[in-house]
Structure 1
Amino acid sequence: MKIVGFSINPLFPDRVIGGSAKHQRTVLTHLGELGHDVTVLCTRHPEAHPFRWHENVEVLPVLPFKQPFPEPYAVPAYQIAEIIQAVGDRLATADRFYMHDGELLVPFLYRNVPTVISLRDNVYPETILGSFLFSADTLIAIAEYSRQVYLHTAGRFLPELPQRAITINNGIDFGQFRPGPPSRAICDLVGIDPEQHFVVLHPHRPEPTKGLRQTIAVADALVHQYGCTSLRVLVPRWYDEKIAPDVRAFYQEALETIATRDLSKHFIFHEWIPQSLMPDYYRLGDVTLVLGSFVEAFGNVAYESLACGTPAIVARVATHRSLLPDNLIAKVHYDDNAAAAALAATIWREGTRTSAETMAYLHANFAIAQQLQAYARAILNAQKVPAAPTRVVPLGAQTSYVLAPWCYTWGDGMVFHDFAARHEREPLLSDLIAAHPGGFTPAQAGAASADAATVDRWYRAGYVVPK
């Protein structure tokens, strides 16, 4: 079978930039191993030339999307036309089309080819718009949380989306991501002796929502409140830093904050970690922090870290609320840095590692073999079906509203909103959700003293959505 793959990001033969690209490589290489002829079209990059991930998987970095990210479509119209031509030429003889991340915003290109789209994030505008432009045959969400986000947004206008959208959790290669001592290579790369330090990992992209501010606050408490003078926090520097002024500014601001808090000797900014060394990187750590507000579609870091034996502390944001039960991973409310620091201090004192119960749950639910088999079934068995119908249902007195899947209630009337990254006290809303978990109408809200203007405010702020 001839399969065409698509990535709006550059791909490389010898390094992986982010979890999304790693899973794309794994899935498409698996299809090549099954004997299928796979061609992957991706964004060109000054360093990139055609290469192969497998004898049956060729990667062609030929698409002139803007680099560096974001705003990949900020190119002249003739280059958009070049992209459409390049993809269209390949699809003319393709049996299947697999679009990784849903960011090719030209649905007519694949109207005649069975197409599977995997949405890999809940934040970037190209992916979000791609979900509303969905015109493929199957949509893959990489966590049930993300599927619910798509169903409660784009799904309001695409009534067949529930039947076309499936969940395939990201998988972990437990042959690589497993407990053990870190290699000398990783210790030399980051310049640290783990026997001499309490090592905190912050293995994230340089974006404010990825939680570096929170990691710095936790480090401050560990050193100055808990007396952890052996602390070393490891932060990878972005591979494209030299050509990305905003990234350089991000690091400079972070370094100034670290210096102001008298933490400079406790932070190590090191080069980007090759994918081959990531298991060793996790093993090097004593705890991995995932405390940002980024609305992850899955969030690989915490679970790969756990698989390597290193505990993770996550903020209750997006998928991290539900991927693992509360008793199997440490969770804190977003921006509760004191609670995160207290958990990290306990790990420092007690030498805590991943529990046997957590490890068993990971192996039962996130094995890479399960992921690859599910992707192969979805892509190879995809059938061309009529274009997804659309509808717009007017809102009115009979509309039933539910708490949006990107929100949760907690404490005394508190509501957290993933996309706003904010806790608000909304006791009336909290009480309504508790009284009507299956949805409430404006009349039911009125009976509970929430007038039409209040319900409208909740709707426009994204706290509630039509059922």
Structure 2
Amino acid sequence: MKILVFSMATIMKDVSMGGSQRHLRELLFHLADQGHQITVLTNRRQDNSEEYELCPGVQVLPILRFKETFPIPYDTHPFHLAHSYSLIRQYADTHDVFYIHDAQMDYGYLHANIPTVASIKNFVYPEAMISAFHTNRNYLIVSCDYMYSCIQYTVGRVQPQITDQLRIVKNGVDLSVYKPVEATRKSQLGLTDDDFVLLFPHRPEASKGIVQAFETVRELKEKLKGPLKGQLKGKARVRLLLPRHFDVHVSKETEQFYTQLTQEAKEFQVEESLVFYPWVPGHDMPQLYAIADVTLCIGQFIESFGYVQIESIACGTPVVVSNVGAQRSIVPSGYSVIKVDYGDTESTVEAIAELASTPMDITGVRQFLDQNYNYKENLLGYEELITSAGKGSSSVFSNTSLKSGSPMDVSYKLAPWCYVSGPKKGIYHDYFYTYLNQHELYSFLSTCTEESFSQMELVEAGVSSEAIEKAIEDGILVLYTP
């Protein structure tokens, strides 16, 4: 089958920008192995402007003219947009099926005559959110239950039958690559056996939690002088291992990020703890996990999945994650992942100490990952949806409207992008990036044991009708769909 693939983020020859692009590379290799012919349309960059063959059967054409670097890809000239759109339409006319990776482009007039499958890897950036509300495709693939619910309770308000199109294909981790290995690169990075290493393997974006990592390092250093002295595997120094993204060579914004990062490290008095490594291909990451004692995923970015936590534990390195986005549900307790409230430095330090002093059941962890995030099943799931769409086995659904009813007959639930923390913090809202302290709904939600509840129950609990209406508008409550 001739498959046309669109990726807004550039597909580089030897390295991936992040988990989404690494997943696409893995999928392309798999589709080629199955005998399909793939053409990839992707963005041109100064450091990636020549056509090339990724592998036999996969031709990558970096010929589109969107903004070179992340984010805001449409921040370019109108004639470059016109050039890119005309190319997409031209290639769509010569292929059997169109796969849009990570959404960000879903203009129906560009692929009206070709079966289309899209995946959405985030529900944060404007391009991704806008594309989710389009319906001119056969399937929309999401990576987990959290993403499914987010789209169901947003897009579903205006396109109730979006679930006819939504498919969950859980992300997978390649356990033949991500596995415990011997740490052989410590000396190359200037690390010694006396160092307690925290790994922060995230792209240059403040919401990924770099400031929180600095706060954690500062607090951990202080605790090593007292309560934790001798408890963190006998280590004397705390080091924070973090990447220098390859965009630093082509993006002034990225360069400025690292300049500011260094300044903030000085302000937190942790500059001497920083150890940078160059951005590496995915298959090199096990070496970095091997060096680390604990991996940190403690930002407030709304992770739609979060590959780092499952890759890290697959390699034998425990993880602390913030209770944000899909991180709340991807890995349950008991698999060397501890969840903390976002911004709770004290709990983060306590979690690090607990993980560092608790042996990991690596066999149990890897069995869990193999059963729940199977690498082969992920690739086969994508292939099945893409090829079945290409054979015309599905059609774009027709729009319907929500049924109306008495407000008292309507059921509600806590929005999937919210969770109820302790009384000191209240309700955390992923999209507001904060805790809603002393919110009128907190008392009811903190004691409610049912998934859904009626407006009558809310009113009887003393919640005003105005507060209910405002909570729906602000995305704290959603209309419950069984």
TM-score by length of 1: 0.93
Q: Distance in 2 between matches of 1:297 and 1:5?
A: 22
Is the CA contact (8 Å cut-off) linking 1:311 and 1:352 kept in structure 2? no
| Amino acid in the other structure paired with 1:456 | E
Q: Contact 2:46–2:250 at 8 Å: present in 1 too?
A: no
Match of 2:178 in 1: 177
Amino acid at match of 1:449: G
Structure 2 residue identity aligned to 1:208: A
1:340 matched to 2:348? The reply is yes
- Structure 1 residues 386 and 358, CA gap change in structure 2 (3 angstroms): closer
Task: Report 1:188-337 matches (<5 A).
Answer: 188=188, 191-227=189-225, 229-328=236-335, 329-337=337-345
Is the 2:297–2:319 Cα contact (8 Å) retained in structure 1? yes
Which residue is equivalent to 2:436? Answer: 424
Q: Judging changes above 3 Å, is the alpha-carbon distance between structure 1 residues 460 and 67 closer, same or farther for their aligned structure 2 residues?
A: same
Mapping of residues 437-456 of structure 1, within 5 Å: 437-456=450-469
Alpha-carbon displacement from aligned partner over 1:37-62 (angstroms, at most 9, x marks no partner)? 00110001112211122100111001
Please state how far the C-alpha of 1:151 moved relative to its aligned partner. 0.7
Q: Give identity over the alignment, percent.
A: 29
Tell me the secondary structure at the aligned position of residue 110 of structure 2: helix
| Structure 1 partner of 2:13 | 13
**420 and 28 in structure 1: CA distance in 2 versus 1, 3 angstrom threshold:** same
Q: Distance in 1 between matches of 2:279 and 2:361?
A: 25
Distance (Å, rounded) in 1 between the aligned partners of 2:272 and 2:100:
44
**Of 430-439 and 57-66, the range deviating more from structure 2:** 430-439
Comparing 414-423 with 37-46, which one deviates more in the overlay?
414-423
Other structure's SS at 1:240 match: helix
Compared CA separation, residues 225 and 462, structure 1 to 2 (3 A): same
Moved more, 212-221 or 78-87: 78-87
| 1:343 CA drift (Å) | 1.8
The Cα shift of 1:164 comes to 1.5
Equivalent position amino acid for 1:327 in 2 = G
Report how far residue 3 of structure 1 moved.
Answer: 0.3
The question of whether the paired residues in 2 share the 8 Å contact of 1:401 and 1:466 is answered with yes
Matches of 2:328 and 2:95 in 1, distance apart? 39
1:142 corresponds in structure 2 to 143
1-side partners of 2:198 and 2:385: how far apart?
A: 38
* Structure 2 residue aligned with 1:39: 39
- Asked if residue 385 in structure 1 is aligned to residue 395 in structure 2, the reply is yes
Larger displacement relative to structure 2 (4-13 or 238-247): 238-247
Task: Let me know the Cα RMSD of the aligned residues.
Answer: 2.1
Task: Name the SS of the counterpart of 1:225 in structure 2.
Answer: helix
Structure 1's 128 and 138: CA in aligned 2 closer, same or farther, altered over 3 A?
same
Relative to 1, partners in 2 of residues 1:13 and 1:389: Cα closer, same or farther, differing over 3 Å?
same
Q: Which ranges of structure 1 fall in alignment gaps of 5 or more residues?
A: none
> How far apart in 2 are the matches of 1:207 and 1:133?
28
Does the 8 A contact of 1:311 with 1:354 survive in 2?
Answer: no
2:89 paired with 1:98: no
How far off is 1:92 after superposition?
0.6
- After TM superposition, give the deviation of residue 93 of structure 1 in Å: 1.9
**Distance in 2 between the 1:362 and 1:312 partners?**
15
SS of aligned partner of 1:28: helix
TM norm structure 2: 0.91
**In the TM superposition, what is the alpha-carbon distance from 1:426 to its structure 2 partner?**
4.6
Aligned to 1:76: 77
Match of 1:458 in 2: 471
Deviation (angstroms), 1:80: 1.8
* 1:398-437 correspondence runs (5 A): 398-412=409-423, 414-426=426-438, 428-433=440-445, 434-435=447-448, 437=450
Alignment size in residue pairs? 463
Please state whether the residue corresponding to 1:370 is helix, strand or coil.
helix
Question: Would the alpha carbon gap of residues 330 and 355 (structure 1) be closer, same or farther in structure 2, given more than 3 Å must change?
Answer: farther
Q: Structure 2: which 5+ residue stretches go unaligned? A: 226-234
Distance in 2 (alpha carbons) for counterparts of 1:403 and 1:65: 38
| 1:52–1:388 distance in 2 versus 1, CA, 3 Å | farther
Instruction: Report the CA distance between 1:22 and its aligned residue.
Output: 0.3
Describe the superposition over 1:304-337 as per-residue Cα deviations: whole angstroms up to 9, x where unpaired.
Answer: 0100001111111111111111222211111111
Asked whether the equivalents of residues 106 and 136 of structure 2 are also in contact (C-alpha less than 8 Å), the reply is no
CA distance in 1 between partners of 2:199 and 2:338 (Å): 15
Q: Distance in 1 between matches of 2:205 and 2:406?
A: 40
Which residue of the partner structure matches residue 112 of structure 2?
Answer: 111
What CA deviation, in whole Å up to 9, does each residue of 1:67-103 have, x standing for no partner? 2222211223222221121111111121111100111
Give the Cα separation in 2 of the matches to 1:395 and 1:22. 46
**Matches of 2:346 and 2:449 in 1, distance apart?**
34
Query: 2: distance between equivalents of 1:107 and 1:98?
Result: 13
- Residues 355 and 106 of structure 1: CA distance in aligned 2, closer, same or farther (over 3 Å): same
How far apart are residue 401 of structure 1 and its match?
Answer: 2.4
Contact kept, 8 Å, 2:215 with 2:268, in 1: the verdict is no
SS state at 2:321 partner: strand
Q: Deviation digits for residues 326-359 of structure 1, max 9, x if unmatched?
A: 22221111111111111213344x3744544323
| In structure 1, distance between residues paired with 2:252 and 2:76 | 19
**CA distance in structure 2 between the partners assigned to 1:60 and 1:455 by the alignment:** 51
CA drift at 1:142: 0.7
Contact 1:199/1:286, CA 8 A, preserved across alignment: yes
